Amino acid sequence: MDEVEDTIFNSDPIYMMHLVGKEVELITIENVTHIGTVYVIDPIYKTTVLHTNRKSFDEYETVFVLYHAIKSVKILSDKADESYLKSVEPKSFEDKDIKKNVLKKWLEHMFINVVESGDYLKIDDHLVIVPPYGSDNCICNNTIILDRIQKIISLMPPDFK
């Protein structure tokens, strides 16, 4: 079976995450235009969730657009709405660095090649782990790799140093 090339998101989960909180114009293959703020993009199926007609943080319409229906995505505002960036950050930079270093050590202990890339941990070019470095913070296009790494992270003993 031939894999279809992703011309919208380039199969790049980091790029998809970069769009969260930004105002975009999304055009479907039926030439329907949706303008709104990206709430989330599923990194596996690439379904995009937009908040449109936003009057306040609590008043908006939610639109789900399946990947196969997307013709184009244009970023209208390069500044992300901070209220959409809801990741749970560790209490301090030291805690974040400690968690990152402990997880990197654990993965290396499990014979997995890990490279630091800024705040991210990368496993080859397949998977990225973002703060706060838990099993739910893995981004990967390959569900098999994603599942295996999440299981390995969940096996890390709480007292591992």
Question: Contact 92/69 with Cβ under 8 angstroms?
Answer: no
Per-residue pLDDT of the chain (161 residues; tens, 9 = 90+): 445 677 788 878 888 888 988 999 999 999 999 999 998 888 888 899 998 876 666 678 889 999 999 999 999 988 888 777 655 444 455 577 888 999 999 999 999 999 998 889 999 888 999 888 888 889 988 889 999 999 999 999 988 88
13-84 maps to which CATH number?
Answer: 2.30.30.100
Q: Which of 119, 161, 112 is nearest to 137 (CA)?
A: 119
User: According to the model, what pLDDT value does residue 58 have?
Assistant: 66
Burial of 104 (0-12, 13-18, 19+ CB in 10 A): middle
Burial of 86 (0-12, 13-18, 19+ CB in 10 A): exposed
Q: Which residue has the tokens 């973002």?
A: 130
User: According to the model, what pLDDT value does residue 79 have?
Assistant: 86
Element (H, E) at 51: strand 48-52
